[in-house]
Amino acid sequence: MTTLSDFSATAIDGTDMDLSQYAGKVVLVVNTASQCGFTGQYKGLQQLQDTYGDQGFVVLGFPCDQFGNQEPGDEAEISDFCERNFGVTFPLSSKVEVNGDGAHPLFDWLKDSKGGLLGSKIKWNFTKFLVGRDGQVIDRYAPTTEPEKLSKDIEKAL
């Protein structure tokens, strides 16, 4: 059975990010963008990280430029923006695609695990997937779902 631990990505600083390091944790995987109407959700995501991080929870951000070119910067610009404007300390990957032939394998698995309104496609930036300690997808949340609304589900998973 496939789990979150079976995947890896490139971190925003160019190093390898083996997702097996999050085995046994509750993980919120989010495709992000710096110039999106939902970009303010970075603040709420960081609040979740601050609130639950010491209980075995982590937010993983995956910048994506597939929706309206809302993530045009390079990795250094993205990292600086997130840190400067929202105090982001949770891990970010380098830019990925989440739909289509070039989609990162992690997102293919997430979409197969929990389809959304558009079937297996991701509709927009800030689609969120909550993954349990067992590495399996618990739920999927629409871009419009504010991070604060996930607290009860996160607490239940922890």
Tally of domains within the chain: 1
Annotated active-site positions, please? 36
Condensed to tens digits (0 to 9), the pLDDT of residues 41-95 reads 999 999 999 999 999 999 999 999 999 999 999 999 999 999 999 999 999 999 9
- Using DSSP bridges, classify how beta strands 57-63 and 128-131 pair: parallel, antiparallel or unpaired: unpaired
Q: What CATH number is attached to the domain comprising 131? A: 3.40.30.10
Length of the chain, in residues: 158
Condensed to tens digits (0 to 9), the pLDDT of residues 142-152 reads 999 999 999 99
- Residue 68 lies in domain: 4-157
Q: What is the pTM of this model?
A: 0.96
Phi-psi region of 41 (alpha: psi -120 to 50; beta: other; left: phi over 0): alpha
Q: What are the backbone dihedrals phi and psi of residue 10, each rounded to the nearest 5 degrees, phi first? A: -100, 125
User: What is the per-residue pLDDT for 1?
Assistant: 81
